[in-house]
Amino acid sequence: MAQKPWGGRFSEATDKLVEEFTQSVHFDKRLAPYDIRASIAHARMLAKQKIISAEEAEKIIAGLEEIAREIEEGRFHWRPELEDVHMNIEAALYEKIGPVAGKLHTARSRNDQVATDVRLFLRDVVDEGVRRLRELRQSLVNKARENLEVILPGFTHLQHAQPVLLAHHLMAYYEMFRRDTLRLVAVRREINVCPLGSAALAGTPFPIDREMVARELGFEALSRNSMDAVSDRDFIISFLAAAATCLAHLSRLAEEIILWMSPEFGFIDLPDKLCTGSSIMPQKKNPDVAELIRGKSGRVFGNLLALLTVVKGLPLTYNRDLQEDKEPLFDTCDTLLPALRLATLLVEGLVPRKENMRAACEEGHLTATDLADYLVIKGLPFREAHHLVGQIVAFCEEKGLRLWEVPLEEFQKFTPLIEEDVYEWLTLEGSVKRRKVFGGTAPERVSEAIRAAEEELAKEAGA
């Protein structure tokens, strides 16, 4: 039987089933580099405060560094019966340097230790997420810039609505991913608080220097209440919520890519390297990557709900339930980061089929609103204009005409307000160009938006 660090008050071995049920090492071992970093900072501080001697600290740190190397090189022997990453490392340290290893845990508990480790881990993930979001945003801006002149139908209710620039459509996603970035940046601040020093729940009688540890680990603040610090998982919930929102955006983008690639739309093509085939239908080229981004978002939403449910009934302070924070967290991280990279590849790789987008604009009387606006300028109240254009559209449907194919004398049977100059209002280019309002689809506005985004990205990359 492996000696458990907490074995003192126990007189029989742990039941095998209990060991299996309570152990978390198969998933929390990925916290090891952070656990060791935090332990080294803690040991240094203990020595500086003369709680342990300098030689003891040196031994501990050398031992920890050796363990870190073993783990990195895959030589470390993980033992599930030692429960979790913290006790595995502690036991290994004992084997390496003997009883002095036992001094590392002075003024510390696994409760503040695990909270510290997860914060360090998540801070790295968030930084990587922000980087990948920046790449994705850059790919959208690039694609928008390359296709500034391309017009496609804009949809509401998945029905043809008004013509828009493809660049405007792509930049709509840029906005979503910019907000996702801001959310992650805000979560980072929440994460970056040091709980170490809270010990089990009540703090510690030893004269530790919490600021020193926090500084060494790059934390911006100290947790202010030890009881809160060991039971707070809000920062994970905030991250899971931010990630869920981001996955919702990725899923919407994925859905459009899937729709646009279907022959019914035919708006884009994707490179072969980003698609997969069918095992029975030889002709198939499927957008499985986009489908899986859409599909995996469900699990990410579930992870948020899972952790909310774990914490909602917990009395203060630490409860073992909190160990259940890690699997949803890791799963979300392992979904979000690759999904961001793959979405970038999809955006970079997608090839707009401009002729098909153009052809689609021929259907659905996309410039009907423009005709109504034209009549408003000629003096008709908008509601009346709307009604009248509705009748003209019905006429077009009956005759199989597009709005711009209606002869002037037919228009004039509806109202003498329509004159020769109407045809300019009915073109796709004219329609788009007139929507010059800030935030609108006019080419000059979209160019400005692209330029602003490029500046924003350059600034963020430099920051």
Which candidate in 26, 53, 278, 387 is catalytic?
278
Shortest separation between residue 335's beta carbon and ligand ARG, angstroms: 21
Pairing of β 221-222 and β 268-269: unpaired
Q: How far is CA 293 from CA 80, 179, 338, 343, in A?
A: 33, 19, 9, 8
Q: How far is the CB of 318 from ligand ARG (least distance, A)?
A: 6
Asked if 306 interacts with ligand ARG (CB under 6 A), we say no
Using CB under 6 A as the binding rule, whether residue 322 contacts ligand ARG is answered as yes
Closer to ligand ARG at the Cβ: 24 or 204? 24
The reply to whether 232 sits near ligand ARG by the rule CB under 6 A is: no
Q: Which stretch binds ligand ARG (CB under 6 A): 110-118, 120-128, 156-164, 211-219?
A: 110-118
Q: Provide the residue type at 146 as one letter.
A: E
CA 210 to chain centre: 32
Q: Which is nearer to ligand ARG, 178 or 326 (CB)?
A: 326
Query: Does 320 contact ligand ARG by CB under 6 A?
Result: yes
- In the set 97, 114, 141, 389, which binds ligand ARG (CB under 6 A)? 114
Closer Cβ to ligand ARG, 28 or 135, answer by number:
28
Q: Output 321 or 456, the one with its CB closest to ligand ARG.
A: 321
Residues 5-34 that bind ligand ARG (CB under 6 A): 24, 28
- Rounded Cα gap, residues 118 and 196, in angstroms: 12
Determine the interface stretch with ligand ARG among 61-69, 107-115, 127-135, 217-225 (rule: CB under 6 A): 107-115
Q: What is the DSSP letter of 433?
A: H
- Closest listed residue to residue 143, CA positions, set 169, 123, 116, 124: 169
Would strands 221-222 and 193-194 be described as parallel, antiparallel, or unpaired? parallel
Q: Provide, rounded to whole angstroms, the least separation between the CB of residue 10 and ligand ARG.
A: 14
Considering only residues 383 to 442 of the shown chain, the ones binding ligand ARG according to CB under 6 A are none
Catalytic site includes residue 278: yes
Question: Least CB distance from residue 71 to ligand ARG, whole Å?
Answer: 17
CB 364 within 8 A of CB 153: yes
Contact region with ligand ARG (CB under 6 A), list: 186-194, 212-220, 315-323, 419-427 = 315-323
The answer to whether 223 is a known catalytic residue is no
Burial 360-395 (b: 16+ CB within 10 A, else e): bbeebbbbbbbbbbbbbeeebeeeebbebbeebbeb
Tokens of 345: 């590849």
Please name every residue paired with 154 in a beta bridge, in sequence order, or none if there are none.
162
Binding mask 157-196 for ligand ARG (x = CB under 6 A): ----------------------------------------
How long a stretch of residues is the chain? 463
Question: How crowded is residue 234: how many other Cβ atoms within 10 Å of its Cβ?
Answer: 14
With respect to ligand ARG, which residue has the nearer C-beta, 174 or 318? 318
At residue 457, the 3 state secondary structure works out as helix
Minimum distance between the CB of residue 84 and ligand ARG, rounded to whole angstroms? 4
Longest dimension (CA), the chain: 101
Query: What's the rounded Cα separation, in Å, for the pair 221 and 214?
Result: 7
Q: Nearest CA to 270 among 280, 262, 278?
A: 262
In this chain, which stretch among 8-16, 298-306, 317-325, 361-369 interacts with ligand ARG, using CB under 6 A?
A: 317-325
Name the site residues for ligand ARG (rule: CB under 6 A): 24, 28, 84, 110-111, 114, 318, 320, 322-323
